Homo-oligomer: A and B are copies of this chain.
Amino acid sequence: MATGRTHRPATRSRGIPEATVARLPLYLRALTALSERSVPTVSSEELAAAAGVNSAKLRKDFSYLGSYGTRGVGYDVEYLVYQISRELGLTQDWPVVIVGIGNLGAALANYGGFASRGFRVAALIDADPSMAGKPVAGLPVKHTDELEAIIEDNGVSIGVIATPAGAAQQVCDRLVAAGVTSILNFAPTVLTVPDGVDVRKVDLSIELQILAFHEQRKAGEEAMAAPASPAPAVRGGTGGGKGPDGDVPAVMPA
């Protein structure tokens, strides 16, 4: 545990901004679709529309990779697919392990998007002994005991955690100890990892909550002119009720 570095330096990687990196897969997908339709070239305007972004942003993003376009024409689709793939590291094979083969883990194992882009599911791992050997998505589920061996034997550096929240940190620790340096976490927990290990979090309920916020705001604005009481059913829960604004709970900060 080095004391020098702060926790998550967000690694402004090497001239390529993080925000750009996050969009490259988006461009890649749009380009792959064009490639399959044998479209030879595409303009920044068209590609941006397909990827759902602003064209100026797209051009700036690409400018970080180099000058791969041709003025007056656009971008060569095949060439760009290769360049982005290479930049993202998808020209090599990335073995991944998925830990926690519940509903979500099984869904991930079956998800075609993984295998199709340089990722290979090296193993499915679960703590439940009764799962061991059971085939999921064509692979036999391995027991947690084998975790370290699997990671070392396959040179796995990316791990996916789809366990319940309670087990996530423990699994994470073992993954890291065994050599994994990138983790995709689906468990609703904050993972603590040593420096040099990347963690990305996907949290289903957080996304819904963000939507609820905007939804509430929309409903509120809409009902501004209408009577004070909004239409949706009110869930008082503990009986606190949801009265008008001033009607806050009994508990005040002492």
> A: which residues have CB within 8 A of B?
1, 3, 6-7, 10-11, 13-14, 21-22, 24-26, 28-30, 41, 49-54, 66, 68-70, 73, 75-76, 78-79, 82, 86-96, 102-104, 106-108, 110-111, 113-114, 116-119, 154-158, 160, 181-184, 188, 190, 196, 198, 200, 202-219, 230-238, 240, 242, 244-245, 248-249, 251-254
Contacts and interface: CB of A to CB of B under 8 A. Distances in A.
B114 A204 contact: yes
A6 B54 contact: yes
11 contacts: A6-B53, A13-B217, A21-B213, A73-B253, A75-B253, A88-B209, A104-B107, A113-B203, A119-B205, A157-B219, A158-B215
Contacts of A181: 215, 218
A196 B208 contact: no
A119 B207 contact: no
B237 A91 contact: yes
A66 B183 CA distance: 36
Given A73-B254, A106-B107, 16 more contacts: A1-B49, A24-B213, A25-B209, A25-B210, A68-B253, A78-B251, A82-B251, A89-B213, A89-B217, A91-B245, A92-B232, A117-B209, A155-B233, A155-B238, A156-B237, A157-B215
B54 A205 contact: no
Contacts of A245: 91-92
Contacts of A110: 102-103
A70 B254 CA distance: 8
A41 B115 CA distance: 47
Contacts of A204: 108, 111, 113-114, 202
Contacts of A26: 190, 206
Nearest to A113: B205
A154 to B, nearest CB: 7
Nearest to A205: B113
Across the A-B interface, the 4 shortest Cβ-Cβ residue pairs? A155-B237, A89-B216, A113-B205, A103-B107
